């Protein structure tokens, strides 16, 4: 019993110290949670969908998603992008691929693996590159 109490005490101390520890990125900068103001970028205003630069690139979100709630019970993106709402909102329909399971079975609603939109889709910002980049769009996607 005494050893169990000692283990519980050590676990509580460890959890307490983690709660007060400052989170840092691998590059040493402080990690922040949620939508925070930044001097590194500003949210873009709504605009037309942006072009893609490589095959299978998820579309970039052409509007701010600041404050959008996506939980397992509610997805703000579906207010505009679900198939039954696009006629009213003018938003792009969710791709049919988002209704398939990993095994290829078609569902009547968005697949759980595609439900959290910002796993793949990101809002456009005016952020400056963190590192140099010489990427060129795929030749078949370049307008001539």
**Residue 30: inside a domain, yes or no?**
no
Domain residue limits at 87:
44-126
**Residue 96: inside a domain, yes or no?**
yes
Alpha carbon distance 144, 8 (integer Å): 67
pTM, rounded to two decimals = 0.61
Q: What is the pLDDT of residue 40?
A: 59
38-92 pLDDT, tens digit per residue, is 555 666 667 777 788 888 889 888 888 888 888 888 999 999 999 999 999 988 8
Q: What is the pLDDT of residue 10?
A: 60
Count of domains for the chain: 1
In angstroms, the Cα distances linking 34 to 38, 68, 79 are 12, 10, 21
**Residue 117: inside a domain, yes or no?**
yes
Mean pLDDT, the chain, whole residue set: 79
**Residue 107: inside a domain, yes or no?**
yes
Q: What is the pLDDT of residue 48?
A: 79
Q: What is the pLDDT of residue 6?
A: 67
Q: Report percent pLDDT > 90 for the chain.
A: 31
Neighbours of 114 (CB within 10 A): 17
Please say if the pLDDT value at position 8 is more than 80: no
Residue located via tokens 């050893």: 3
Confidence grade of residue 33 (pLDDT, cut at 50, 70, 90): low
CATH number at residue 83: 1.10.1130.10
Q: Report percent pLDDT > 70 for the chain.
A: 71
Cα first-last separation, the chain: 76
**Bridge partners of residue 43, in order along the sequence:** 125
């Amino acid at each position: 019993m005494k050893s169990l109490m000692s283990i519980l005490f050590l676990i509580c101390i460890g959890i307490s110290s983690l709660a007060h520890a400052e989170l840092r990125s691998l590059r040493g900068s402080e990690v922040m949670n949620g939508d925070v103001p930044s001097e590194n970028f500003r949210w873009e205003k709504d605009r037309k969908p942006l072009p893609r630069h490589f095959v299978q690139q998820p579309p970039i979100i052409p509007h701010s998603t600041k404050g959008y709630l996506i939980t397992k019970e509610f997805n703000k993106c579906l207010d505009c992008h679900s198939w039954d709402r696009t006629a009213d909102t003018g938003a792009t329909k969710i791709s049919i691929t988002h209704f398939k399971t990993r095994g290829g079975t078609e569902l009547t609603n968005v697949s759980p693996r595609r439900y959290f939109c910002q796993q793949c889709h990101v809002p456009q910002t005016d952020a400056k590159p963190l590192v140099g980049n010489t990427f060129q769009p795929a030749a078949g996607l370049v307008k001539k």
